[in-house]
Structure 1
Amino acid sequence: MIAKLSGSLDSVGEDWIIIDVGGVGYLVFCSGRTLRVLPEVGGSVSLMIETHVREDHIHLFGFQSMAEKAWFTLLQTVQGVGAKVALGVLSIFSGEELTQIVAAADKTALTRVSGVGPKVAGRIVAELKDKVAKMDLGPVAFAGATDKGKKAAATDGGSAVAAGDAVSALVNLGYGRADAFGAVAAAARRLGPDATVEALITAGLKELAA
């Protein structure tokens, strides 16, 4: 089982690359996001690899980070989402953006991906909601729900801390973590990066009651 490849970039296609490792060329399928950060042909490249072995083929999928690889695996746990669709999702959305999409149940955003219709988008949101809520998301995840997005996460983690505290408060009130996470994410999107814990709790409760 191949878990990582390091070598020189031999060639690049629409959704694939060939990595030359000691004179052996490995065909690796990648998301558009990974393709965009690769060096020029001939440069050194190192990718995390997921190997799919089937009766009629062996496919290698490459990722710039363990986080992207983890999302690739997670997306494929959803009924109707195979490797091709998962790569399509990761070509458009980062992990932080996917976290917010799932938390806010934003099915419309997912339909931007080729091969993802309303039904599949609904399943992604529904089936991953609990799993995403249990992930260690860090400040960028909640900051992404605000208008300032990642810039806010980089310059001021206060909004993310407030959102995390609001989620904890709602969980302590008896709400499930997944529901609390989604409600606070939606509240943070509306109220902006300066929202206080109290404001997020109040708005989150209204979301849960809707």
Structure 2
Amino acid sequence: MIARIQGILLEKSLSSVTLDVGGVGYRVFVPLTAIYDLPEAGENLVLHIHTHVREDAIQLFGFPDPAQRGLFQMMIAVTGIGPRLAMNILSGITPEELAAAITRGDLARLVRIPGVGRKMAERMVLELKDRILKAGLTPAAGPGETPQGVAVMEEDVLSALLNLGYKETSAKSALDKAAREIPAPTTLDGLLKGALKILSGS
């Protein structure tokens, strides 16, 4: 079973990379949140691998560090989450933010991830919270980082957008998108600027 690959990056897409290892090209699926931090083609790259064996294929899922791979492996142990869905989830939220949302029981944040409904979010919290805390994969909550603090901050930003004359539907849509795109922990000012940028189309 392959656990680590080091080679020359040949090409990368939004979902995978191809590595040249001793003249053999390996296709490795990588989360979108990690793609932008990878080196350019022609440079050396090390990925920590989870090997998934099926009857008709062997798939490699790669991560920049062992902690991210560990979180991925915890996720695929959850009922109803396979490797592809786990990779899609990690493409919609950073590993740090995902771990924090799970350990805090922040269902509102989890259901904003594409492919995650409320039942799935509840199952993730139930099955992963203790395992993530035990593994030390998430930092302690700081001021304003609790679900309640985030909810209050989002309400303040929405109120500010409405006061600026934006329609509620457009404001909520921009706020949700900004919350997904801005790395945690965020601030009221950062969230407001992100929403305004989306609303202005810039």
Pair 1:142 & 2:140 matched: yes
CA distance 1:114–1:188, shift in 2 (3 Å) = closer
Give the corresponding residue for 1:162.
none
Tell me which amino acid in the other structure corresponds to 2:27. Answer: L
Q: Distance in 1 between matches of 2:124 and 2:9?
A: 33
Tell me which amino acid in the other structure corresponds to 1:129. Answer: K
Number of equivalences: 153
**Which residues in structure 2 correspond to 1:2-81 (within 5 Å)?**
2-81=2-81
Tell me which amino acid in the other structure corresponds to 1:63. Answer: F
Confirm or deny: 8 A CA contact 1:97 1:141 kept in the other structure: no
Residues 15-66 of structure 1 deviation map (CA, whole Å, 9 limit, x = unaligned): 0110011111001001012211111111111111111111111000110000
Give the root-mean-square deviation of aligned CA atoms: 2.4
Residues 58-113 of structure 1 deviation map (CA, whole Å, 9 limit, x = unaligned): 00011000010000000111111111121122223333322321122111211222
For residue 188 of structure 1, report the CA deviation from its aligned partner: 8.1
Q: Distance in 1 between matches of 2:46 and 2:133?
A: 30
Unaligned runs of 5+ in 2: 152-202
Confirm or deny: 8 A CA contact 2:93 2:113 kept in the other structure: no
Pair 1:101 & 2:120 matched: no
TM, length-normalised to structure 2: 0.68
Identity %: 39
Confirm or deny: 8 A CA contact 1:85 1:116 kept in the other structure: no
For residue 14 of structure 1, report the CA deviation from its aligned partner: 2.1
Q: Distance in 2 between matches of 1:71 and 1:29?
A: 15
Q: Distance in 2 between matches of 1:115 and 1:189?
A: 22
For residue 186 of structure 1, report the CA deviation from its aligned partner: 5.7
Q: Secondary structure at the match of 1:34?
A: helix
Q: Distance in 2 between matches of 1:34 and 1:92?
A: 11
Q: Distance in 1 between matches of 2:136 and 2:14?
A: 33
- 4+ runs deviating over 6 angstroms: 187-190
For residue 146 of structure 1, report the CA deviation from its aligned partner: 2.8
Give the corresponding residue for 1:111.
111
Q: Distance in 2 between matches of 1:135 and 1:5?
A: 24
Confirm or deny: 8 A CA contact 1:9 1:42 kept in the other structure: yes
Q: Secondary structure at the match of 2:62?
A: strand
Unaligned runs of 5+ in 1: 150-184, 191-210
Give the corresponding residue for 2:83.
83
Q: Secondary structure at the match of 1:59?
A: strand
CA distance 1:12–1:64, shift in 2 (3 Å) = same
Confirm or deny: 8 A CA contact 2:9 2:45 kept in the other structure: yes
CA distance 1:133–1:6, shift in 2 (3 Å) = closer
Residues 129-185 of structure 1 deviation map (CA, whole Å, 9 limit, x = unaligned): 222232325xx6114x434x7xxxxxxxxxxxxxxxxxxxxxxxxxxxxxxxxxxx5
